[in-house]
Chains A and B, each alone.
Chain A
Amino acid sequence: MIAIQTDDVDIGALINAAKQSRTGAVVVFDGIVRDDDIIEMELEAYEEVALKELERIAEDAKQKFNLQSVDIIHRIGRLAVGENILIIVVSAGHREEAYAGSRFIIEAIKAGVPIWKKELTRDGGRWVPGDHPHGSGSKKT
């Protein structure tokens, strides 16, 4: 399942669905709204483009790390402290591939998928600066 959505997701169900007969490891990444003196977080996406990029990243990760399954669910809209932002579930035959594949996916998302976060505070709000601050050149995935 690759999705950008407002609703939360059942991580346990994703883990169960990721298990196949030759699965030896499932790795879950759960990115969460951290309390940095904020009230809520608002997430925005260029949805049509972001979804295609998530699908491409998932396919790349499957091929590079021999993953058996990849789920990526990125939430948008307003989220409270403690809520899930991004869930990545990967399964593989062995832990090395599962860990490496999961890490590849989160770094690729942070580098190039058009999604933004705004921290809403008592004084207003502030956009979270990106990790890769420039627009010249090709995608850094």
Chain B
Amino acid sequence: MSVRIRFFAQFGELFGTEIIQESVPGTTFTGLIMEIAAKNKEGYDAIFDKNGAFLDFVILMKNGKRLDNADAGKTRIADGDEIAVFPPVAGG
């Protein structure tokens, strides 16, 4: 399956702003981001804690809707989904 991943602000600088990731069906939100972050220690440390959970301040979205960080490990991603990972917003 193919998933579009968007990173913003400092996370975009660490990972790239847009990645099309090919992954196996059934992969979770956390699993998918870990596939990318595994190759990037600075990026990994910016978004994951030492237990492999998203840091509390990291904001997650799936298809434009907020996803609670506590649910990311059990949320399955489907072909064609768009997911986003970003730091706290600072507009205005």
Contacts and interface: CB of A to CB of B under 8 A. Distances in A.
Contacts of B90: 110, 115-117, 127-131
Interface in B38-59: 54-59
Contacts of B84: 46, 49, 114
Contacts of A127: 9-10, 87, 90
Contacts of B92: 31, 74, 85-86, 106, 109-110, 113, 115
Contact of B91 (A116, A133, A136, A138): A116
B86 to A, nearest CB: 6
Given A48-B64, A116-B8, A110 B86 contact: no
A22 interface: no
Contact of B64 (A52, A109, A112, A134): A52
A127 B66 CA distance: 22
A117 B57 contact: no
B53 to A, nearest CB: 11
Given A44-B8, A109-B92, A127-B87, 16 more contacts: A46-B86, A49-B64, A106-B92, A111-B89, A115-B89, A116-B9, A116-B90, A127-B9, A129-B90, A130-B87, A132-B88, A135-B56, A135-B60, A136-B68, A136-B69, A137-B68
Q: Sort A-B residue pairs by CB-CB distance and give the 4 closest, nearest first.
A: A130-B88, A115-B91, A135-B59, A116-B9
